Structure formats: structure tokens, C-alpha cells
């Protein structure tokens, strides 16, 4: 009886060890540089989303202040939005560098389905960057129009509302693409950790 228990324990240890080794080999099929770039990219993208959401909220407030005729407060808030816009551009450069690292490491991912999920996440983050370029362009136009209004050079109140709507649309798209990238990486994790 004692011998059977020993054989059973040895069998369980060998089987368990083999399974653990299989899981380790399978999980290490994802390159470390991909994993690092993925984590950094996710943090940077979330930072971009937070900053763009805050800017969109401030732009709505600027629009209200403009309608109320409080140009001093609107101009001060516009200065904050300009500063935040520069920070968003800096984060966009950082995000593109992380996406480049992920793309370079993509070919090292053995599992085809995992590679496809990672590619989808990268595509969503690149689309986010594209929408961020549009956002920055509209923001620049809005700030020029607001400066003109606040200094009395031009009126352009209809143009302000149109640009605010376009900026809000770009912010919604940025949020959507970030969400799609996160969902694709969740699928990636499920595939890799099977």
C-alpha cells in the first residue's frame, strides 16, 4: 500500500512539474520587450484619455464663459488648455514609441491568434493617435478663434460651437479606440494564458 502511494505521489509531482514547465514555456512565448511596451503604452494611453477628457470639459466651460461674456476667465482657462494640449502631444510621442516597440516584437509571438489580438490592439492605439492629431488641429483652431474673440479682433461665436462639437467628437473617438485596444489585449491575455 505504501509503495502505491509513493508511486502516486511521484506521478502527481512529475505530471504537475511537467504542466508547470509547459505553462512557463507557453507564458514566456511573449517577448519581455512586448510586455514592457504594452504596459507602458496602456498607461500612456490612459493618461492621454484623461488629459483629453479634462480638456474637453474645460472647453465646454470656455464656451459657457464665452457666451456669458466673461472673456478674462475664458482666456485664463484657454491658457490651461493650451498647456495641457502640449502635454498631450508629448504623451502621444511617448505612445508612438511604445507602439513601435510592440510592432517590432510582434513577430516573436508564436501563437497566431495572440499575435492577431495584439495587432488589433496596436491598430486601435494607432487610430487613437490619428484621432489625437485631429483633436490637436481642432483645438488649435478653437484657441485661435477664442483669442480673436477675447481680444476683440473677431466675433466667430458659431465657429466656436462647431469647433467645440468637433473636439468633443474626437475625444469620444479617442476614448473608444482606447477601449478597443484594452479589449483586444484582454483577448490576447486569455489566449496566451490558456
Q: Which fold has domain 31-192?
A: 1.20.120
Q: Which residues of 13-43 are buried (b: 16+ CB within 10 A; e: fewer)?
A: eeeeeeeeeeeeeeeeebbeebeebbebbbe
pLDDT > 70 in the chain, percent: 84
Q: Cβ neighbours of residue 99 under 8 Å, at least 6 residues apart? A: 37, 41, 122, 125, 126, 129
Domain residues of the chain, as ranges?
1-30, 31-192
pLDDT tens across 68-83, in order?
888 788 878 888 888 8
Ramachandran sector of residue 152 (left: φ over 0; alpha: ψ -120 to 50; beta: rest): left
Q: What is the pLDDT of residues 3-57, one digit of tens each?
A: 666 666 676 666 666 655 555 545 547 888 999 999 999 999 999 999 989 988 9
- For residues 27, 32, 35, 38, the Cα torsion angle rounded to the nearest 10 degrees is -160
Percent of the chain at pLDDT > 90 equals 38
Q: What is the CA radius of gyration of the chain?
A: 25
Amino acid at each position: 500500500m505504501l509503495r502505491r502511494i509513493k508511486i502516486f505521489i511521484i506521478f502527481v509531482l512529475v505530471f504537475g512539474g511537467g504542466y508547470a514547465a509547459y505553462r512557463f514555456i507557453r507564458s514566456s512565448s511573449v517577448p519581455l520587450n512586448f510586455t514592457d511596451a504594452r504596459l507602458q503604452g496602456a498607461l500612456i494611453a490612459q493618461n492621454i484619455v484623461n488629459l483629453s477628457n479634462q480638456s474637453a470639459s474645460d472647453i465646454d466651460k470656455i464656451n459657457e464663459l464665452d457666451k456669458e461674456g466673461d472673456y478674462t476667465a475664458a482666456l485664463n482657462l484657454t491658457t490651461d488648455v493650451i498647456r495641457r494640449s502640449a502635454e498631450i502631444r508629448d504623451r502621444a510621442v511617448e505612445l508612438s514609441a511604445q507602439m513601435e516597440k510592440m510592432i517590432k516584437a510582434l513577430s516573436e509571438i508564436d501563437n497566431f491568434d495572440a499575435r492577431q489580438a495584439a495587432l488589433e490592439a496596436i491598430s486601435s492605439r494607432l487610430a487613437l493617435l490619428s484621432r489625437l492629431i485631429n483633436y490637436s488641429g481642432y483645438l488649435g483652431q478653437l484657441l485661435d478663434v477664442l483669442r480673436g474673440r477675447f481680444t476683440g479682433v473677431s466675433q466667430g461665436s458659431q465657429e466656436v460651437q462647431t469647433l467645440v462639437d468637433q473636439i468633443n467628437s474626437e475625444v469620444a473617438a479617442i476614448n473608444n479606440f482606447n477601449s478597443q485596444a484594452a479589449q483586444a489585449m484582454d483577448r490576447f491575455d486569455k489566449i496566451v494564458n490558456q
